[in-house]
């Protein structure tokens, strides 16, 4: 591929707790510096401890999220904001309710939008109006997805409704006890993600090892959506030893 490629800054830490603490410390530092007034946020199991640490810092008076704007990566189609499986509900429980953030400045894609195309355009316009995302927090799916951009997603894609891979729905089934994981979601596109000024990706556990290796060492292309991050000059990957187990190392 003709684009200039960059190598993400890879930090391999001893444990998932260390990954969370390093990520929380990085976010706290950027916020205090005024370098992260607009945050892009991820959901899932990996960021939970990060959000707990940020909430703790706010309660202790070491950090304030007042004046910070947030944009979440994605939301399931068909779920109301108060549905326990929705990502709006997740964010309210795990970060927003335990901090001093202004809820009016928090944004999650509209999974109930009657016109998903218009909703995607509106979300992009809201990000632009906020000045763009300063720091984007990401996880990575076992198939290499970022946000809900499944393999095959174009690198110039924008916020849109997408079908979810069977493997993604299976991995997220634990969030829907006794229920069915939605088949679609509205997600920021890869092009949207790449416009963030800084990106921090978290990965923990052996189930993520293949995806992390493909992202860092494999071909850059839609088969591994996370490989698009090698087109960005400022990406930090924080992972534990299990998630980094298949990454090639010189020598």
Q: What is the pLDDT of residues 75-93, one digit of tens each?
A: 999 999 999 999 999 999 9
In a domain, residue 208? The reply is: no
Q: Which of the following is catalytic: 72, 110, 124, 145?
A: 145
pLDDT of residue 249: 73
Q: Which of 75, 124, 134, 150 is catalytic?
A: 150
Residue 204 within any structural domain of the chain: no
In a domain, 36, yes or no: yes
DSSP assignment of 136-164? EEE---TTS-BTTB-TT--TT--SEEEEP
Q: How confident is the model at residue 3 (pLDDT cuts 50, 70, 90)?
A: low
Within-domain flag for 236: no
Confirm whether 100 is a catalytic residue: no
The answer to which of 2-16, 119-133, 137-151 has the lowest mean pLDDT is 2-16
For residue 40, list its beta bridge partners. 71, 136
From residue 76, give the alpha-carbon distance in Å to each of 57, 115, 164, 213. 30, 15, 10, 28
Active site residue 72: no
Total of domains in the chain: 1
- Quick check: 250 pLDDT over 80? no
Supply the mean pLDDT for the chain: 95
pLDDT score at 179: 73
- Annotated active-site residue 183? The verdict is no
Q: Which of 74, 87, 77, 143 is nearest to 116 (CA)?
A: 77
Range of the domain at 73: 17-197+216-227
Q: The CATH number of the domain where 120 resides is what?
A: 3.40.50.1360
| Range 156-183 average pLDDT | 92
pLDDT above 90 covers what percent of the chain?
94
**Could you tell me if residue 155 is inside a domain?**
yes
Q: Of 72, 74, 75, 107, which residue is the catalytic one?
A: 74
Average pLDDT of the segment spanning 7-27: 97
CA distance 121 to 189: 11
Reply yes or no on whether 143 is catalytic: yes
In a domain, 69, yes or no: yes
**Residue 38 falls inside a structural domain:** yes
42: in domain? yes
Question: Please, which pLDDT band fits residue 2 given cuts at 50, 70 and 90?
Answer: very low
**Selected catalytic residue, list 75, 134, 143, 195:** 143
């Amino acid at each position: 591929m003709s684009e200039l490629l960059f190598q993400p800054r890879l930090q391999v830490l001893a444990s998932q707790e260390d990954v969370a603490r390093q990520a929380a410390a990085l976010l706290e530092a950027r916020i205090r510096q005024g370098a992260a007034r607009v945050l892009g946020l991820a959901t899932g199991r990996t960021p939970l401890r990060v959000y707990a640490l940020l909430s703790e810092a706010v309660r202790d008076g070491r950090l304030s999220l007042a004046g910070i704007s947030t944009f979440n990566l994605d939301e399931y189609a068909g779920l109301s904001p108060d549905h326990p499986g929705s990502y709006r509900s997740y964010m309210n429980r795990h970060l927003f309710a335990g901090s001093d953030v202004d809820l009016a400045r928090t944004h999650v894609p509209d999974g109930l939008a009657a016109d998903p195309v218009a909703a995607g355009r509106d979300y992009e316009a809201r990000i632009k109006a906020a000045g763009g995302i300063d720091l984007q927090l990401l996880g990575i799916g076992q198939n290499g997805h970022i946000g809900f951009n499944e393999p095959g997603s174009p690198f110039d894609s924008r916020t849109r409704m997408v079908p979810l891979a069977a493997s993604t729905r299976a991995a997220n089934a634990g969030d829907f006890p006794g229920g069915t994981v939605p088949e679609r979601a509205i997600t920021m596109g890869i092009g949207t993600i790449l416009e963030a000024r800084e990106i921090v990706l978290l990965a923990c556990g052996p189930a993520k090892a293949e995806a992390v290796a493909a992202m860092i060492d494999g071909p850059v292309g839609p088969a591994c959506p996370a490989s698009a991050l090698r087109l960005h000059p400022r990406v930090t990957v924080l992972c534990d030893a299990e998630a980094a187990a298949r990454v090639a190392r010189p020598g």
